[in-house]
Amino acid sequence: MIRAYAANEPGGKLEPFEYDPGPLNAGEVEIKVEHCGICHSDISMLNNEWGMTAYPFVPGHEVVGTISEVGDGVENLKVGQRVGLGWHADYCTTCPSCMSGDHNLCPDATGTIIGRHGGFADKVRANSLSVVPLPESLDASKAGPLFCGGITVFNPLVQFDISPTSKVAVIGIGGLGHMALGFLNAWGCEVTAFTSSDSKRKEALELGAHDTLNSRDEKEIEAAAGRFDLILSTVNVKLDWGAYMNTLKPKGRLHFLGATLEPIELGVFSLIAAQRQVSGSPVGSPETIRKMIEFAALHKIEPVTEHFKFDQVNEAIERLESGDARYRVVLSH
Ligand SMILES: NC(=O)c1ccc[n+]([C@@H]2O[C@H](COP(=O)([O-])OP(=O)(O)OC[C@H]3O[C@@H](n4cnc5c(N)ncnc54)[C@H](OP(=O)(O)O)[C@@H]3O)[C@@H](O)[C@H]2O)c1
Ligand SMILES: [Zn+2]
Ligand SMILES: [Zn+2]
């Protein structure tokens, strides 16, 4: 039996929940969970905000642990190895996206917490292709958030070939945003943090930003006209996207990572006149996760974390919802 924490209804409290996972499938591994970050997507899924949650629902997709069992045919991982698991637990492996190495764009990829039980548990299972080794040089208790939040903000730097001379802004300095500041600084970019929390402005500079602006202050946004090559939005709320568009240089890109539910309202002329772009992306492929882990280890980029025990999971979720967490909440056994 796997001992987990599950909610039985949208917004419900998490309660102890046991399930029988059955025999381990070929190609799968079982991970003994040591730590698991709480991503805002866990909360959105818990509340069924995206209309795809199955109950009982076990959240958790920023897992760090050790391999406790390997299924038939698993060649890439061994029992006892330290690993991480993120948003995807499986890929079809044969579609054009998978065949091109863009597994995270696979239309048949399986989410770790979509139609299966996630990492708020003593064990979790996934296809071995989606599980990435974690080097000893990274602190296991802090590394979980790299596997969803971290890869999500790192992936655009790889996808869009961002150069060290680029000027990049990050909107929202939460779980995703604070890791973005560290990655962008190490990448060599000039980094600007847009935050709605005055108390984070000084901290953002310590996390890697060179400058900070208020994400809800029209005048500060207006004064940044024509400044950025790339903006990464990590907020899940509607902001004045038209105003942000004008802070981009010609050919600049406004890139959405945060799952804002309201449609984006934009004037077409601000795109046409300066040949600007609007885009979005989900997490990253296993190979990009591997590269990110290597980059994080080399540059000593670690998530800034607050720690709770698994049996304090409901308090931990409240802490994330309060908006005061600095900057990612992690559960540990
Ligand atoms: N694309 C993907 O693959 C992917 C992967 C993981 C997560 N996500 C999504 O990314 C989003 C962020 O996740 P997270 O875990 O980083 O969440 P988080 O830790 O809660 O951070 C979100 C940040 O947004 C800002 N914010 C919140 N409410 C705001 C408001 N009313 N006005 C302005 N700013 C506001 C806050 O930053 P400040 O205090 O600095 O303003 C907050 O820290 C979520 O929607 C999540 O579902 C997407
Ligand atoms: Zn996530
Ligand atoms: Zn595929």
Per-residue DSSP letter, 102: -
Can you give the pLDDT at residue 271? 96
Count Cβ atoms below 10 Å from residue 269 Cβ, excluding itself: 8
Does residue 305's CB lie within 6 angstroms of at least one atom of ligand 1?
no
Q: 3-class DSSP state for residue 98?
A: helix
* pLDDT band at 168; cut points 50, 70, 90: very high
Mean pLDDT calculated for residue range 138-164: 98
Does residue 214's CB lie within 6 angstroms of at least one atom of ligand 1?
no
Percent of the chain with pLDDT over 90: 100
Does residue 111's CB lie within 6 angstroms of at least one atom of ligand 1?
no
Percent of the chain with pLDDT over 70: 100
Can you give the pLDDT at residue 27? 98
Name residue, tokens 């760090």: 64
Can you give the pLDDT at residue 239? 97
Does residue 104's CB lie within 6 angstroms of at least one atom of ligand 1?
no
Mean pLDDT calculated for residue range 41-47: 98
Mean pLDDT calculated for residue range 231-246: 98
Ligand 1 centroid to Cα of residue 245, in Å, is: 19
Ligand 3 centroid to Cα of residue 28, in Å, is: 17
Can you give the pLDDT at residue 332? 98
Distance CA(186)–CA(194), nearest Å, equals 19
Whether this model's pTM surpasses 0.85: yes
Cis peptide before 91 (omega within 30 of 0): no
Ligand 1, closest atom to CA 259? Answer: 45
Can you give the pLDDT at residue 109? 98
Can you give the pLDDT at residue 107? 98
Can you give the pLDDT at residue 131? 98
Cβ–Cβ < 8 Å for 203, 326:
yes
How big, in percent rounded to 5, are the helix, strand and coil portions of the chain?
A: 30, 30, 40
Averaged pLDDT score across all residues of the chain: 98
Residue type, 324: D
Ligand 3 centroid to Cα of residue 136, in Å, is: 31
* pLDDT band at 292; cut points 50, 70, 90: very high
Ligand 1 centroid to Cα of residue 258, in Å, is: 6
* pLDDT band at 329; cut points 50, 70, 90: very high
